Structure 1
Amino acid sequence: MQKKSCHVEWVFAPDDVARIRFAFSPIWELVASLRTLRDPARRSLHLPWVRAVRPRLAGLDLSELFALVPTAGYLVDFVTPTPDTPVPDFAAELDRVRRTPPERAAAEAGWVSGADPRIVERFRADPEAGVARVADTLQRYWEVAFAEFWPRVHGLLEGEVTRRSRQLAAGGARELFSDLHPNVSWRGDRLAVVRRWEYSAPLGGDGLVLVPTAFWWPDTAVMVEPYQPMLVYPATGVGTLWTEGPPPAPGALAALIGRTRAQILTALADPSTTSALARRMELTPGAISQHLTVLSDGGLVTRRRMGREVLYRRTPVGDSLVCAA
């Protein structure tokens, strides 16, 4: 007999689509990376990162984090709060973890299965102290194994948010969710996500936060009440995350406008910000800005402000130069 699939389902009122927002979360990526460390075969795209950080972790006790974030199944929600700003800061997110009510943390620890029961019981016996220990360990783990790599992950996720925001604005919810992930489907006024448990509820005016991820690839994840509804899905282009350096510049184009400007123009296959380009190109934002000014004056790129960010994209003339080269 075929097993019936289960779903988490959110019911949208007419104005709930307008409350969809995108964000990404450094602490979510940090927590997700714990599973990557323990099961790298499952997330083999991140093997370069695993090889780089494992030697650094010899003196760091991650046993309590591993117990609360097992390799499969439920992990405690309090370590991955729903982002409350489009681009949250790790320190601010960690502060939210520290402020978790002890009774909530104890209850969530009790829902974890497959972990060392002695570690879980120690946490639940004094959850206030347990939350403080977990936050301190997350801080040390970030400093040792993740902070150095965050700018690269940030650039990937920033590009994904930009692309998906345009998709939502142009085509609405139906187009957005049509290719978000095979486990995600839009059903008229409902968004369904395949899970191992059943849940259905109206969004109720809270909005839905869509969070692209690199380290949770290739899976999805959800959060429901008492947290703000959140859907985590794999970002496009995760396979390029650990590719070194800027994209190659076509020789003819490099000869025409210079190698660095050719690389920038090639990198603008998708719109990007100055800061994201700087991280990818391993140049200063000031240097990138100077090159973008020249490309803009030459009619090869255009700029558009979206909120606090300025996005650069190739013009049709820029597209034709890259394609011809």
Structure 2
Amino acid sequence: MKARLTFSVNDLAETRFAVSPMWEVVTSRRALAAATVPDPHRGWADQVRPRLAAAGLDRGWLAEMIPPTGHLPDFLNPVPATTSSGLSDELAAIEATDPEQVRRDLDILAAERDGSLSSRLRSLHRTPRLYLPRIVAEIEAYWRLAIAPYWARIRSVLEADLFYRGRQVAEHGTARALDQLHHTVRWAGGGLHLVQRHCAVTRIETGAGLLLVPSVFAWPRVLTRSVASEPPQLAYPARGIGTLWERGTHEGMEALAAVIGRSRALILAELDSPASTTELARRSGLSAAGVSQHLTALRAAGLTSTHRTGRSVLYARTGLADALLTAQT
């Protein structure tokens, strides 16, 4: 199915890019729901699935609302207010969703499921305001387990994409940038042509402008959101996804070790994927007590972050640590 989104001068003037934490929540949950997780994210999924199952989030609200294919509830992806909105801002918008919008989304889901919804979703349909806070709480829990430990590296990919697209606009204009978003997206004749069934969106159905959202978990597809009076959203695969989960070579480790010590530099190098103190001790060959002391110092220096998962704590590198480790010697 093909769709064409027409553009006026005002629409082009109101076209913008933004990073959206909720698009990463929704698309990552969709990836986990797939029969086969897309290849770039399988290692991530192997780490995350046991945590979600232990927390009961493999069978929660998101699991019921986000199918592997088909409609994604529009209320889960509110319009980001800024180029880099925080998760808390988007969650506040979700909690304040018009109940009729929630019901419209659930009606579409029901139509795709032979007219039926689970008892949980039927309750949400009856009284959205009662259950939206519970959905928000689950999203926060999902974020802590599945996204937050990896957010520094995800965000760096998204922000690099924004920089690249901004340079395209500056050097070649908005039309050129739109034409090179994805192979299913083409700019021609004053309109954006979307060539895939799930991309159906028209200007009649939506507000002015266009919001373009890079996403690491949307790969390999382009996804759209179309809500009356709001600008249409188009979530496209960000550049650099292929290297997102690669273990780095850390050319700068020796230089960093000279500054912070070899043990701490080694711990940072081993945090290519988030890990607990016990796991880091196993990977590095250091004692658990020693690793704990080093992690405390690294966190105080802004080089690691902590993320509680049930009774355990995961440690992750920050963007600053990534920059230090990948610096050329």
Q: Same fold (TM over 0.5)?
A: yes
Aligned to 1:86: 83
Aligned to 2:222: 220
Aligned to 1:303: none
Q: Distance in 1 between matches of 2:168 and 2:250?
A: 24
- Asked if structure 1 preserves the Cα contact closer than 8 Å seen for 2:213 and 2:234, the reply is yes
- Asked if structure 2 preserves the Cα contact closer than 8 Å seen for 1:12 and 1:202, the reply is no
> What percent identity do the matched residue pairs reach?
31
Note the alpha carbon deviations across 1:3-39, whole angstroms, 9 max, x for none: xx331x2211124323221111111101111112122
Aligned to 2:273: none
Q: Distance in 2 between matches of 1:67 and 1:278?
A: 32
| Among 2, 6, 25, the residue aligned to 2:2 | 6
Query: For residue 279 of structure 1, what is the amino acid of its counterpart?
Result: G
SS of equivalent residue, structure 2 residue 202: strand
Aligned to 1:59: 55
Query: For residue 200 of structure 1, what is the amino acid of its counterpart?
Result: T
Query: For residue 83 of structure 1, what is the amino acid of its counterpart?
Result: P
Q: Distance in 1 between matches of 2:142 and 2:104?
A: 24
Q: Which aligned pairs between 1:91-240 and structure 2 lie closer than 5 A?
A: 91-112=88-109, 113-114=112-113, 116-196=117-197, 198-201=200-203, 206-226=208-228, 227-240=230-243
Q: Distance in 2 between matches of 1:66 and 1:282?
A: 32
- Asked if structure 1 preserves the Cα contact closer than 8 Å seen for 2:222 and 2:234, the reply is yes
SS of equivalent residue, structure 1 residue 111: helix
Task: Give the Å deviation of 1:174.
Answer: 3.2
Aligned to 2:73: 76
Distance 1:207 1:35, change over 3 A: same
- Asked if structure 2 preserves the Cα contact closer than 8 Å seen for 1:23 and 1:209, the reply is yes
Q: Distance in 1 between matches of 2:232 and 2:162?
A: 18
Could you tell which deviates more after superposition, 235-244 or 202-211?
202-211
How many residues of Structure 1 are paired with residues of Structure 2 in the alignment?
A: 260
Residue 245 in 1 paired to residue 240 in 2?
A: no
- Asked if structure 2 preserves the Cα contact closer than 8 Å seen for 1:40 and 1:50, the reply is no
Query: For residue 213 of structure 1, what is the amino acid of its counterpart?
Result: S
Query: For residue 31 of structure 2, what is the amino acid of its counterpart?
Result: T
- Asked if structure 2 preserves the Cα contact closer than 8 Å seen for 1:53 and 1:145, the reply is yes
Note the alpha carbon deviations across 1:90-122, whole angstroms, 9 max, x for none: 111111111112222122111113375333212
Q: Distance in 2 between matches of 1:95 and 1:67?
A: 21
Task: Give the Å deviation of 1:203.
Answer: 9.6
Q: Distance in 2 between matches of 1:278 and 1:63?
A: 29
SS of equivalent residue, structure 1 residue 282: helix
Could you tell which deviates more after superposition, 187-196 or 86-95?
187-196
Q: Distance in 1 between matches of 2:91 and 2:163?
A: 25
Distance 1:119 1:164, change over 3 A: same
Note the alpha carbon deviations across 1:206-253, whole angstroms, 9 max, x for none: 32111011011111011223232111110111011111236657xxxx
Note the alpha carbon deviations across 1:40-99, whole angstroms, 9 max, x for none: 624121111111111212222443212211111001111111212101101111111111
Q: Distance in 2 between matches of 1:233 and 1:158?
A: 14
Query: For residue 158 of structure 2, what is the amino acid of its counterpart?
Result: L
SS of equivalent residue, structure 1 residue 17: helix
- Asked if structure 2 preserves the Cα contact closer than 8 Å seen for 1:16 and 1:205, the reply is no
Distance 1:280 1:19, change over 3 A: same
Aligned to 2:278: none
Task: Give the Å deviation of 1:281.
Answer: 4.9
Q: Distance in 1 between matches of 2:99 and 2:194?
A: 30
Aligned to 1:35: 30
Query: For residue 51 of structure 1, what is the amino acid of its counterpart?
Result: D
Aligned to 2:17: 22
TM-score norm. by structure 2 comes to 0.71
Q: Distance in 2 between matches of 1:214 and 1:53?
A: 16
Note the alpha carbon deviations across 1:106-151, whole angstroms, 9 max, x for none: 2211111337533321221221122122111101111122211111
TM-score norm. by structure 1 comes to 0.72
Distance 1:199 1:216, change over 3 A: closer
Q: Distance in 2 between matches of 1:122 and 1:204?
A: 28
Distance 1:247 1:190, change over 3 A: farther
Q: Note the residue ranges of structure 2 that are not aligned, 5 or more in a row.
A: 253-264, 266-302, 304-316
Q: Distance in 1 between matches of 2:216 and 2:239?
A: 9
Q: Distance in 1 between matches of 2:206 and 2:33?
A: 38
Query: For residue 68 of structure 1, what is the amino acid of its counterpart?
Result: M
